[in-house]
Amino acid sequence: MENNKPLYELFNTIFSDSPKEPKSICLEIDVLDKENKDEITETQLSDLFEIFLHMFVYGFKKLNLTFTEGSIAILKDYFLSVGIKFNIEIEQFDTILFNDIRYKARYCLIDPMSLTDDEPLFISNYQKYERSKMNQFIATFQYEYESLIFINFDFI
């Protein structure tokens, strides 16, 4: 947790009050190249994706949410306040989903213990896929043997 302390302090500030208006909180994230703002590299996108994924898990735990439509809507409002939208698809668990392109081309898995441990663990996909847009990065989370959840983010 020590590595991510500044991030968690920021997340704590965001999630300590009710959600703000869309795009009302300005984040300056230093993974972007200030000289070339029009082109974001795949590495920069993956860094941003992981920051948003940390924010997702942090908010989920801090607000004591569940994988229900109402809880997810609350979390979406917080993300909109920083100019990010996320898509979450919750599928009833079936091993056939392991052949789904969203699963095969995922960027990472969220370790199931991430919702109870202090610091989330993301397990990278060993297969490499080229990605050029934020919404092409997908994280999957297996909620016990009930659901397989797909999460991605995009800018608004």
Q: What is the pLDDT of residue 81?
A: 96
The H or E element that residue 74 is part of is helix 69-81
Q: What is the pLDDT of residue 1?
A: 44
Going residue by residue through the chain, which has 156 residues, state the pLDDT in tens, using 9 for 90 and above.
Answer: 456 778 889 999 999 999 999 999 987 776 655 566 567 888 889 999 999 999 999 999 999 999 999 999 999 999 999 999 999 999 999 999 999 999 999 999 999 999 888 889 999 998 889 999 999 999 999 998 899 999 999 999
This prediction's pTM: 0.90
Among 31, 88, 26, 23, which Cα is nearest to 57's? 88
Tell me the DSSP string of 78-125: HHHHTTEEEEEEEEE--GGGGGSHHHHT-SEEEPGGGGTSSS--EEE-
